[in-house]
């Protein structure tokens, strides 16, 4: 059987003859790789998640009631100074009012407030958390489903977990009583 030529074969031969010898082009460089992601502080994220979990677990264990006083003293604070704090004899330099805030907002505001106070050398602050008497029993509101004041318990737990808090106690009745707390902060270390 004879090979059958098509017009396409003739065109291909004509083209090869017209262009002459060919050489292979160099390989194209590979496309650039996307930049590596920025490093993340994974351990800090894990620590934060663990702290949140522990915080929520601790919150469920022993909830404060509306009339309960907040009270804490670190070993670094002398007992006579703590007694003065309890009597309301230490002047509050700055104050934060958390009335009407939801849990997430209250947590952010309290962290920022304490960090700012410490950064500016403020040694004694007041936090008005309320007693949770007028809130609805809904997640994120002033009281939880058992009637415990959520913001008050949040403030208590957060203050106990901070290394820069030397002591705190509920305010005297004239300054908000069990609806507010006075906090003594450790002096910031000069660098």
pLDDT at 18 over 80: yes
**C-beta separation of 165 from 122 below 8 A:** no
Residues, the chain? 191
Residue 38: band (very low, low, confident or very high) from pLDDT cuts 50, 70, 90: confident
Instruction: For the chain, give percent helix, strand, coil, nearest 5.
Output: 40, 15, 45
Residue 141: band (very low, low, confident or very high) from pLDDT cuts 50, 70, 90: very low
CB atoms within 10 A of CB 126: 19
Predicted confidence (pLDDT) per residue in 143-158, tens digit: 454 566 788 888 999 9
**Bigger pLDDT: 44 vs 36:** 36
Residue 31: band (very low, low, confident or very high) from pLDDT cuts 50, 70, 90: confident
What beta strand segments (E) does the chain contain? 71-73, 94-97, 124-128, 165-170, 180-185
Q: Which structure tokens are listed for 135?
A: 């809130």
How many angstroms separate the CA atoms of 90 and 125, rounded? 10
* 134 Ramachandran zone, left/alpha/beta (phi>0; psi -120 to 50): alpha
Q: DSSP letter for 142, please.
A: S
Question: Cα-flanking dihedrals φ and ψ of residue 97, to 5°?
Answer: -110, 115
Domain borders along the chain are 66-185
Which CATH class name applies to 66-185?
alpha beta
Q: DSSP letter for 139, please.
A: T
């Amino acid at each position: 059987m004879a090979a059958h030529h098509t017009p396409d074969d003739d065109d291909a031969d004509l083209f090869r003859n017209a262009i002459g010898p060919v050489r292979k082009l160099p390989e194209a460089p590979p496309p650039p790789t996307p930049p590596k992601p920025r490093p993340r502080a994974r351990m800090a994220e894990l620590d934060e998640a663990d702290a949140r979990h522990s915080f929520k677990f601790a919150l469920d264990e022993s909830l404060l009631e509306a009339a309960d006083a907040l009270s804490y003293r670190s070993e670094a604070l002398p007992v006579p100074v703590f007694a003065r704090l309890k009597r309301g004899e230490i002047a509050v330099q700055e104050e934060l009012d958390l009335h009407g805030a939801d849990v997430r907002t209250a947590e952010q505001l309290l962290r920022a407030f304490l960090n700012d106070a410490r950064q500016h050398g403020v040694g004694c602050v007041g936090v008005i958390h309320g007693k949770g008497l007028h809130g609805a029993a809904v997640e994120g509101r002033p009281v939880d489903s058992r009637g415990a004041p959520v913001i008050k318990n949040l403030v208590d737990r957060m203050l106990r977990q901070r290394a820069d808090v030397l002591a705190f106690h509920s305010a005297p009745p004239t300054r908000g009583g069990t609806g507010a707390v006075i906090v003594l902060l450790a002096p910031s270390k000069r660098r």
